[in-house]
Amino acid sequence: MASLAEKLLLHIADEGHHSSAKVTVVGTGQVGMAAAFSMMTQGIISELALVDMVESKLKGEMMDLQHGQAFLRTVKVVASTDYAVSKGSKICVVTAGARQNEGETRLQLVQKNVQIFKHIIPNLVKHSPNCILVIVSNPVDILTYIAWKLSGLPRNRVIGSGTMLDSSRFRFQISERLHIAPQSCHGYVIGEHGDSSVAVWSGVNVAGTRLRDILPNIGEKEDPENWEQIHKDVINGAYEIIKLKGYTSWAIGIMVSTLCNAILKNQRTVYALSTLATGYHGITDEVFLSLPVVVGENGITSIFNQMLSESEAAKVLASAKTLHEVIKGIQL
Amino acid sequence: MEATTLADQLLVRIAEEHDHASAKVTVVGVGQVGMAAAFALMTQGVVSELALVDVVADKLRGEMMDLQHGQAFLRTVKVVASTDYAVSKGSKICIVTAGARQKEGESRLELVQRNVEIFKFVIPNLMKYSPNCILVIVSNPVDVLTHVAWKLSGLPQNKVIGSGTMLDSSRFRFLISERLKIAPQSCHGYIIGEHGDSSVAIWSAVNVAGTRLQDICPQIGTSSDPENWEQIHKDVINSAYEIIKLKGYTSWAIGIMVSALCNAILKNQKFVYTLSTLAKDYHGIKEEVFLSLPVVVGENGVIAVFNQKLSEDELEKIKQSAKTLNGVISGVKM
């Protein structure tokens, strides 16, 4: 006997199963879920897959996202502890990873996360061999390098969130001082995502006018307006928010959504992202750190040969050496 | 001679910057629900200014900073936060998510009374700084608290809206869409009445492309329905409990729902949603109670109420809802 559904609709062609814009998020913690929610509310994907280790949390998050769908463009939401659910993803976002314990060295933290990535990365590539990997877990530059090694993917398809968020915080702080929109203040923070990131003051500009042309020692010790405080605030930004609310989520979530949109729509936008930096600014070691790059559906397709001052270039080189020291000590 | 700053040298000001926010929304309560709503309003570009109010200053500041740091990737939205309600001044909409949660062994009336005390502080403060705003109440039990907010605010009834069964209806449509394998947006259905265990699914109105499912399956939603469509309604009622069991709380769906409602108000969209409103004189209800009915919502709040045709059984259930709610409201000390 025909069901109501069968009486209501006359099927005339196969429903497709191909997802033209599928993104997988590994890790349903605060960062992963903010990224997932952002992608849903901004309507940039056609399918979202969530992967983590705790089934009940996964199912709860999936249902909570599904229940809002009448108010959004329909997005298929699936979730499982089994990576098969990620099959056919254009982008796989990795937010999973151990947090730093008290007294733990950076190398110890990295080694713990390497073990976690040894499970995650091959599983993602198995089900989506042509995907783009976006690594968010920290320490991001090192883990992006690890993901590149473990995945076997070409370097353009392994992207670390790097200093994309630092640059966004940087632009926000500059906009507060100038009383104009952040989108109209252009500036980059590059290098290692962390305490030794490099603010490229020589490039900061509004409407093509470099701030350095008006204030020659901007960002340096002698700067009477102490613009370098902005860079310090960017570095401390995350720590401060963690102290106040326990973790950060919204900004990184929007950032991931924006990056995925640039990839899916082949936008060719320029962002500071963690990529293989060998050959730039005198770097000879094999390391990943953030540089301004062009990103589209084939991942990172160009790297900007940014003009840096001598001191800026020296800082980036120092970053590269520090990162290389850590990478050398890793057992892959 | 006074040294000019870099900012002064860069930009030549020719007119006053205004501070007026044409689309300002305040969210009271920065818990999971409040922040999901705030984040949805930001990422969907619905507001021009967002104000967050709560009682814990640290958490407030952390949430504000976290939202601000994403702004280079969004349409610029001014985000402010304070424990002082002055920060909410000039809001078009004030969303209230704050409130006590039900304690073990606590009666519904005890919970309501606790929340009435909280609302006695929240509502007048919001009205002081945004006397022409629209109040959107999300805190539970939402129908009773919307009624309380209406009394405390002195606003006309069209400007006090409870989230009510807007989310229930969205869950209902999602579950129907799963069975029919079409988009939720194309499945139309309404859950009305009390937001909670005694909500009423109007099966006679469920339709796709104008075709009522009841015309194809006359016993749909009843106990003699061979396909047991009423299970969908039961699943809707249990959804929140189930998600709370699985992830500890619900946030995303209610966040999206609040954003969609605010968008409808700010853009004067005149969408039809099931929202908690003054229900006296509809469906034979004699009591002065708030419960959800399908309404038209725009920049002046609830501007019209649908006189839906209900079956005898549905009418009975609604009247029962109204009696229960009246019982609770009568026991409240304002």
Q: What is the pLDDT of residues A235-284, one digit of tens each?
A: 998 889 999 999 999 999 999 999 999 999 999 999 999 999 999 999 99
Give the residue-averaged pLDDT of B4-23: 85
Q: Does A186 touch chain B (CB under 8 A)?
A: no
DSSP conformational letter for B50: E
Mean pLDDT, to the nearest integer, of B110-126? 94
- Kindly report the pTM of this predicted structure: 0.93
Q: Give the mean pLDDT of B117-130.
A: 97
Compare CB distances from B72 to A60, A66, A172 and report the shortest one's residue. A172
B65·A240 Cβ contact <8 A: yes
What share of residues in chain B are helix, strand, coil (percent, to 5)?
45, 20, 35
Instruction: Note the pLDDT of residue A109.
Output: 84
What is the pLDDT at residue A125?
Answer: 98
pLDDT at B107 over 80: no
Compute the mean pLDDT over every residue in chain A, rounded to the nearest whole number.
94
pLDDT tens-digit series, residues A143-177: 999 999 999 999 999 999 999 999 999 999 999 99
Least confident of A2-16, B39-53, B134-148: A2-16
pLDDT higher for B105 or B320?
B320
Kind and range of the H or E element at B295?
strand B290-298
Instruction: Give dist(CA A60, CA A28) in Å, integer.
Output: 10
Q: Quick one: pLDDT band at residue B55, thresholds 50, 70, 90?
A: very high
Closest Cα in chain A to B238: A63
Q: Which residues of A touch B33 (CB under 8 A)?
A: none
Report which of A26, A43, A300, A315 is spatially closest to residue A191, judged by C-alpha positions. Answer: A315
Query: Which residue, among B12, B65, B73, would best test binding to A if mutated, counting the most A CBs under 10 Å from its CB?
Result: B73
Q: Residue A223 — left, alpha, or beta (φ > 0 → left; ψ -120 to 50 → alpha)?
A: beta
Confidence (pLDDT) at A331: 87
The mean per-residue pLDDT over the stretch B238-246 comes to 91
Residue type, A256: V
Percent of chain B with pLDDT over 70: 99
Q: Residue A194 — very low, low, confident or very high, per pLDDT cuts 50/70/90?
A: confident
B2 has pLDDT over 90 = no
pLDDT of residue B100 exceeding 90, the answer is no
Pair of tokens at residue A199: 């603010």
Chain B contact for A164 (CB, 8 A cutoff): no
Q: Name the pLDDT band for B3 (thresholds 50, 70, 90).
A: low
pLDDT given for residue B1 in this prediction: 46
Chain centroid, CA B111 distance in Å: 19
Shortest CA gap A109–chain B (Å): 25
Query: Are B63 and A225 in contact (CB < 8 Å)?
Result: no
Any bridge partners for residue B95, and if so which? B27, B136
Top mean-pLDDT range of A110-114, B103-107, B147-151? B147-151
Give the best residue of B52, B252, B273 to mutate against chain A (max A CB count within 10 A): B252
Compare all CA atoms of chain A with the CA of B256 and give the residue at the minimum distance.
Answer: A68
Q: Do B170 and A69 touch (CB under 8 A)?
A: yes
| Residue A171: both structure tokens together | 């632009």
pLDDT at B108 over 80: no
What sections of chain A are H helices per DSSP? 4-8, 30-41, 55-66, 106-127, 140-151, 164-178, 211-214, 228-245, 250-264, 310-328
* A67/B72 touch (CB, cutoff 8 Å), yes or no: no
Residues A144, A129 contacting (CB under 8 angstroms):
no
Task: Identify whether the C-beta of residue A127 lies closer than 8 Å to the C-beta of residue A84.
Answer: yes
Residue of B78, B185, B217, B247 to mutate for A, most A C-beta atoms under 10 A: B247
Nearest to A115 by CA among A152, A146, A159: A146
CB contact under 8 A, B252 and A172: no
Q: Residue B27: exposed, middle, or buried by beta-carbon count in 10 A (0-12, 13-18, 19+)?
A: buried
- Chain A positions touching B76 (Cβ under 8 A) are 181-183
Q: Is the pLDDT of residue A2 over 50?
A: yes
Specify the DSSP class assigned to residue A199.
Answer: E
For residue A29, what pLDDT is reported?
A: 95
pLDDT in tens, A37-47: 999 999 999 99
The CA–CA distances, whole Å, from A86 to A13, A77, A93, A123, B251 equal 26, 11, 11, 9, 24
- With an 8 Å Cβ cutoff, is A250 touching chain B? yes
| Cβ burial, residue A249 (10 Å; 0-12/13-18/19+) | buried
Please list, in sequence order, all residues whose beta carbon lies within 8 angstroms of the beta carbon of residue A120, skipping any fewer than 6 positions away. Answer: A26, A94, A96
Q: How many alpha carbons lie under 13 Å from residue A133 in its C-beta half-sphere? A: 34
pLDDT at A62 exceeding the cut of 60: yes
Across A192-206, average pLDDT: 93
Distance, CA of B78 to CA of B71 (rounded, Å):
9
d(CA B32, CA B40): 12
- Two tokens at A283? 């770097």
> Is A127 an annotated catalytic residue?
no
Contact B170 A218 (CB under 8 A): no
Amino acid letter, A228: E
Q: How far apart are CA A302 and CA A312, in angstroms?
A: 21
Q: Model confidence at B128, in pLDDT bands (50, 70, 90)?
A: very high
Distance, in Å, from the CA atom of A177 to the CA atom of A169, rounded to the nearest integer, reads 13
Which residue's structure tokens are 């814990």?
B56
Chain A partners within 8 Å of B63 (Cβ): 244-245, 250
Q: What are the structure tokens assigned to A144, written together?
A: 């992006």
CA gap A91, B241 in Å, rounded: 33
With H, G, I as helix, E, B as strand and everything else as coil, classify residue A330: coil
pLDDT for A99 beyond 80: no
Which of B65, B69, B239 lies nearest to residue A168, judging by beta carbons?
B69
Q: How much is the mean pLDDT over chain B?
A: 93
A239: helix, strand or coil: helix
B218 to A10, B148, B188: CA distances (angstroms): 20, 40, 17
d(CA A50, CA A96): 11
Using alpha carbons, select from B17, B19, B21, B75 the residue that is nearest to residue B50: B21
